[in-house]
Amino acid sequence: VVDDLGAPFEDLASFVDACRVHDDFREITGADWNLEIGTLIEAVAEAQTDPPMLIFDSVKGHMAGYRVASLVYASARRVAIALGLPPDADRLMLARLAAAKLEHANPIAPTTVADGLVLENQFTGDDVDVLKFPALLFHEHDGGRYLGTGDTVMTRDPDSGWVNTGTYRLQVHERNLLGLWMSPGQQGRQICEKYWAQGRSAPIAATFGVDPLVFMASHQKLPWGTSELDYAGGLRGRPLQVIEGQVTGLPIPAHAEIAIEGEAPPPSEQVRDEGPFGEWPGYYSGGSRGTGDGQPVIRVRAVYHRNRPILHDQTPLWPGAPTLGIRFDSGVLWEQLEQAGIQDIHGVYSHNRYFVVVSIRQRYAGHALQTALAVMGCGAGARNGRYIVIVDEDIDPSDMKQVLWAMQTRVDPVSDITTIDGCWSTPLDPRMPPERRAQRNYVNSRAIILAVRPFAWRDKFPLATRASADLRRRVLDKYRDRLGIEALG
Ligand SMILES: [Mn+2]
């Protein structure tokens, strides 16, 4: 779908410009990379649903024009604009449309070009200095400044030649040395481990600001052997243009704002303490603190950037400050549940990985528990979860007020809450007990909460008092202008 607001966008800069026109946007000059910008971003993301995009320029100690873009995809409207979806559709529908779009792209391989905007400025050898970019010291106890949060990291499988692209956090250790944190089992880590097993350094390229579709492709959990850059081409509907990195030969999106090339030596040769870094559960985790091990580094051999580059900040914030306006993993889970044969799903919403809500119209006794167990088994719901809540079709699973009301009034804790231990988790889990962490036994337990009217006597359940959707719409249509409250819809 090519939307009349501009999708697909050629680069991050044109997307930022479209949002300046079509959505909420603030530009701030003179702020400090040292905690000030991070604190502002978090406070704004907490303050309202669908917060404005923030652009920081003339960051303290940095040249004007070296910008940071944050909360880039924090409003539902901006995610819709990025994907070329109807910007005014409701959140649940957008999650579904976004997932359908992301699931059904037919891969188109990139075209290699000789030149691109990313090569407007090039530095190698002693001229490499990643500190010219306003990397943020974000959370108060972060172990350093992070250049890579909204990044894409390219590695090539030495056996097949397949290029994987993923988003991994990259810390700045030195002007030419970055820290790399990849969770156990992630594809980029598996590829690096193949080089390290042969005693070789793994060639790596990374970008720090790309067009929305390459960024979103980089976040998809595509199967081993599937190229995210091909997939991004499919989402765009035409090949992505890439340059061939002079140091690594790896493909680098030609429109990238900032890119680096280098190599990750075997950890037996060089590691650094990585982190701590504030992660999405709202705690410092992963890295050396989470695993007890020094973590890999990237020796940076080349730096490229456009004129007036935009560094994409996508630092994880605690769940009360959402940075993604539409959780499209909700839509992916929705599709998988349907494929697993779950009937009459009215909505799926993953508020974060620890809190997933599914709304169903109950058709038979046991339908609700079947749905919850399917969430636990699906690829999109299996890893790193905690609570699975099943609600009736009158509850909007994306609206926490409604979900909490169902949990307060439709649950008998003894009979409607089930726990299961030994599930797939990660070192990022703040509740991982020290014993399990020491054994690298990264499993946790799950609670299934059936916040539905009990099927056997659902017809005797008290009637809810909240105005019906139809009555509400009729009355609001009559009085909306006089109330002047935009949030009433
Ligand atoms: Mn991958």
Distance 107 CA to ligand 1 centre (A): 13
Report the C-alpha dihedral over residues 450, 455, 461, 465, rounded to 10 degrees. 60
pLDDT digits (tens, 9 = 90+) for 375-431: 999 988 999 999 999 999 999 999 999 999 999 999 999 999 999 999 999 888 999
pLDDT band, very low/low/confident/very high, at 286 (cuts 50, 70, 90): confident
Is residue 288 within 8 Å of 275, Cβ to Cβ? yes
Cα separation values, 294 from 139, 269, 316, Å: 21, 11, 22
Identify residue 14 by its one-letter amino acid code.
S
- Residue range 159-179: average pLDDT? 97
Distance 321 CA to ligand 1 centre (A): 27
pLDDT band, very low/low/confident/very high, at 367 (cuts 50, 70, 90): very high
Report the C-alpha dihedral over residues 275, 166, 8, 348, rounded to 10 degrees. -80
pLDDT digits (tens, 9 = 90+) for 205-236: 999 999 999 999 998 878 899 999 999 999 99
How much is the pLDDT for 184? 78
Distance 213 CA to ligand 1 centre (A): 15
Chain-wide mean pLDDT for the chain?
Answer: 95
Among 43, 88, 95, 90, CA closest to 70: 43
How much is the pLDDT for 291? 82
What span, in angstroms and rounded, lies between the C-alpha atoms of 240 and 252? 10
What span, in angstroms and rounded, lies between the C-alpha atoms of 478 and 90? 22
pLDDT band, very low/low/confident/very high, at 4 (cuts 50, 70, 90): confident
Distance 448 CA to ligand 1 centre (A): 30
Identify residue 234 by its one-letter amino acid code.
G
pLDDT band, very low/low/confident/very high, at 3 (cuts 50, 70, 90): low
pLDDT beyond 60 at 1:
no
CA angle 150, 213, 157 (to 5 degrees): 75
Is residue 187 within 8 Å of 164, Cβ to Cβ? yes
- Residue range 280-303: average pLDDT? 92
Distance 72 CA to ligand 1 centre (A): 22
- Residue range 191-203: average pLDDT? 98
Q: Which residues of 287-305 are buried (b: 16+ CB within 10 A; e: fewer)?
A: bbbbbeeebbbbbbbbbbb
Distance 259 CA to ligand 1 centre (A): 19
What span, in angstroms and rounded, lies between the C-alpha atoms of 399 and 86? 20
pLDDT band, very low/low/confident/very high, at 74 (cuts 50, 70, 90): very high
Distance 222 CA to ligand 1 centre (A): 5
pLDDT band, very low/low/confident/very high, at 453 (cuts 50, 70, 90): very high
Distance 154 CA to ligand 1 centre (A): 9
What span, in angstroms and rounded, lies between the C-alpha atoms of 231 and 366? 39
How much is the pLDDT for 222? 85
pLDDT digits (tens, 9 = 90+) for 98-150: 888 887 889 999 999 999 999 999 999 999 999 999 999 999 999 999 999 99
% of the chain surpassing 70 pLDDT: 99
Distance 84 CA to ligand 1 centre (A): 23
Identify residue 470 by its one-letter amino acid code.
D
Distance 221 CA to ligand 1 centre (A): 6
What span, in angstroms and rounded, lies between the C-alpha atoms of 237 and 106? 9
Rg, C-alpha atoms of the chain: 23
